[in-house]
Chains A and B, each alone.
Chain A
């Protein structure tokens, strides 16, 4: 039986045009650009300097606090320096630049593709390895995964929820991973279950990925405790609050985390990365990136080393089409428009979406007709028309009382507004001002 979340949601056209493109390993870049901040939290501290030789899998930047992550080199070669490179956010960030030479790996990493089913690590070792190998949330949020596996005092983990939803239109990286590397994912899920001490895992997959559902359902017979739950296709089901509601019918309270309702949520690619880290000793140095869009000649799913310039992926997919384009890192609903494609792929780059000119410009905005479609679309049950107006007028105390901090910035409101009002633009600025005020108050 198909399940889903109840409040709000929209149905943008799915456009999963790359869904049957098999994963293709992209050749190594000539120069790799490895940012030291590829995760939520404090950027890592660089351990290498100009002239150092590095190998694949070598720790090149160390986690610098509780909410931070290790960064490993994805290539072998010589460090040419630590420079300020513009990343997907549009801002320059400190980046380790490596001139690539050969493909030499660190000792102790098992590069074979043979499945290693048998789990010898203890729960504590699993958490330690997840932290050590730099695993972060691969759905795009890049939250350091080991923190989620450390259950706070007073909370109990009952179930592990695996996010195989991939609700953004166009993106197919998780889909292909579930179809082609399903068994490794199952072992990865088992490892995660062990690390938090739960007997039960649910993999949520949207119903437009029939092959993935079939593959994992067949495998689940072999791996006890893992249930595959097909879900109605509805955006933003991949949001963790919506996914928890859809799979176990519990609503995370405002300001809370999944653990407050007994759940730990991890993306399916994070489960795969966990398998590689624990069973193969391989740190997070590569990921699948979907290159897609109407004008792309060869929509593809590439296995890419972190640090590869996005331009190389676009070339391999047939190059940029003509016209005034928009190039998005991520999906069309929450992705970031890139000012340049020379930026590198990072741990959180799930896709590169090239939009042709007719789709790249926004509709003209007119006055609000109070149709309340934004209210029906909002998955958090908020009133976007009101939050928008309050944000425009900078009425921050009332914004706070209207729960603007609950907004997950999914974009459903802007999407649905018949008057073309860019609701999320202002709500985002209002939310950011309110969160700043809350932080200042707490000090």
Chain B
């Protein structure tokens, strides 16, 4: 009696990456930044992250089970990633209630109502953050001071962020050089000893995460490097033209949400373009809009808006910017 063999079409082998493994790698890449955050902001960092992750998981579970009435999608870990990224974009002294609300908007509105993972148009964590920023501007712009705020939660000692200091000075007509002394040193800024969102402060830790993501082949270099390059070129040109009104490019790179945004938010698979050329155009757009808002707009930080605006452009980019095909002769 002959064996019955399995018959299916080729290929008959499969690579080792899975959606779940990719998400796990993103979580691992975020650990250094989370560790630094706990060091500077203490309990607030722990609580905010846990509340965000648990809320995102809970909302996805409930919506999937009772509204969509489909199988659970939690196994792919994307709810955990959304929770962590949302937490990374919030000040650590924020009320946990607002964190829950932000999670509901991130998972429920930005992700599930569009059809779940793979169908969302906008970065869910950023939608949650921007929603909170616009609806609760006071709580969302009260930044805990590093080290000093470690032992407390919602009642932490607060201070301004470097970008905030610069924006106030420029609005008041003061030259940049006057306020430079009240801003931490470049080394402090690079390590993360400054006010800011939970996950954005430490450029050093975020760059470690970037290296991990590249090695594990989770993302390619195109989006983050192009964003950095665009910011350096654009802000550098402005700074050279008028150093008293505009800060230098290095300052722009290591303060605010540029590192976090470029490495973890702009590179979100679903909402970014699907070939290298498209990714470069998308990243240039993000860099330009970020600097425009930072240097000319009302807000001290612009990268969240920049990414969301370019998320909207992604379907258009995917439609008209195609990868280089074999045998193609491209002109220009």
Measuring CB to CB, which residues of chain A are less than 8 angstroms from any residue of chain B?
7, 10, 12, 90, 169, 241, 245, 251-254, 256, 320, 324-328, 332-342, 353, 355, 359-363, 366-373, 375-376, 379-383, 385, 403, 406, 409, 411, 414-420, 422, 424-425, 428
Contact = CB atoms under 8 A, between A and B. Distances in A.
B325 A369 contact: no
Contacts of A370: 118, 269-270, 274
B10 A333 contact: yes
B22 interface: yes
Interface stretch (B1-9, B47-55, B126-134, B236-244): B1-9
Contacts of B220: 376
A375 B119 CA distance: 18
A208 B76 CA distance: 36
30 contacts: A7-B326, A252-B327, A254-B325, A256-B327, A325-B5, A326-B6, A333-B10, A334-B10, A340-B2, A341-B2, A359-B12, A362-B14, A363-B18, A367-B116, A369-B22, A369-B270, A370-B269, A372-B275, A375-B275, A376-B220, A379-B326, A380-B326, A381-B326, A383-B323, A403-B325, A415-B11, A417-B15, A420-B14, A425-B9, A428-B9
Interface residues of B, number: 37
A372 B267 CA distance: 12
A411 B270 contact: no
A419 B19 contact: yes
A251 B116 CA distance: 40
A376 B219 CA distance: 11
A335 B11 CA distance: 7
A381 B22 contact: no
Given A320-B3, A420-B18, A332 B274 contact: no
Interface string B16-35: 01110110000000000000
Contacts of A360: 6, 12
Nearest to A251: B327
Contact of A415 (B6, B15, B119): B15
Interface string B293-332: 0000000000000000000000000000011111110000
Contacts of B270: 369-370
B9 A422 contact: yes
Nearest to B269: A371
A308 to B, nearest CB: 17
Contacts of B273: 372
A338 B5 contact: yes
Contact of B10 (A169, A335, A340): A335
A7 B324 contact: yes
Contacts of B18: 363, 418-420
Given A369-B19, A418-B18, A335 B274 contact: no
A367 B270 CA distance: 11
A117 to B, nearest CB: 39
Interface string B103-117: 000000000000011
A418 B21 contact: yes
Contacts of A372: 269, 273-275
B128 to A, nearest CB: 19
A10 B7 contact: no
B274 A383 contact: yes
A339 B274 contact: no
A-B pairs with the 8 shortest C-beta distances? A411-B11, A381-B325, A372-B274, A371-B269, A337-B7, A326-B6, A332-B13, A367-B118
Contacts of A251: 326-327
A383 B275 CA distance: 9
Given A372-B275, A415-B15, A424 B10 contact: yes
Interface centre among A334, A341, A371, A375 (most CB of B within 10 A): A371
Nearest to A15: B13
B76 A366 contact: yes
A128 to B, nearest CB: 33
A415 B12 CA distance: 8
Interface in B271-292: 273-275
Given A334-B11, A370-B269, A324 B6 contact: yes
A325 B19 contact: no
Contact of B274 (A7, A375, A422, A424): A375
Contacts of B323: 375, 381-383
A342 B3 CA distance: 11
A327 B15 CA distance: 20
Interface string B162-200: 000000000000000000000000000000000000000
A289 B269 CA distance: 43
A341 B119 CA distance: 44
Given A10-B15, A328-B12, A385 B274 contact: yes
Contacts of A382: 323, 325
B270 to A, nearest CB: 5
A373 B323 CA distance: 12
Contact of A339 (B7, B118, B322): B7
A280 to B, nearest CB: 35
Contacts of A355: 12
B11 A361 contact: no
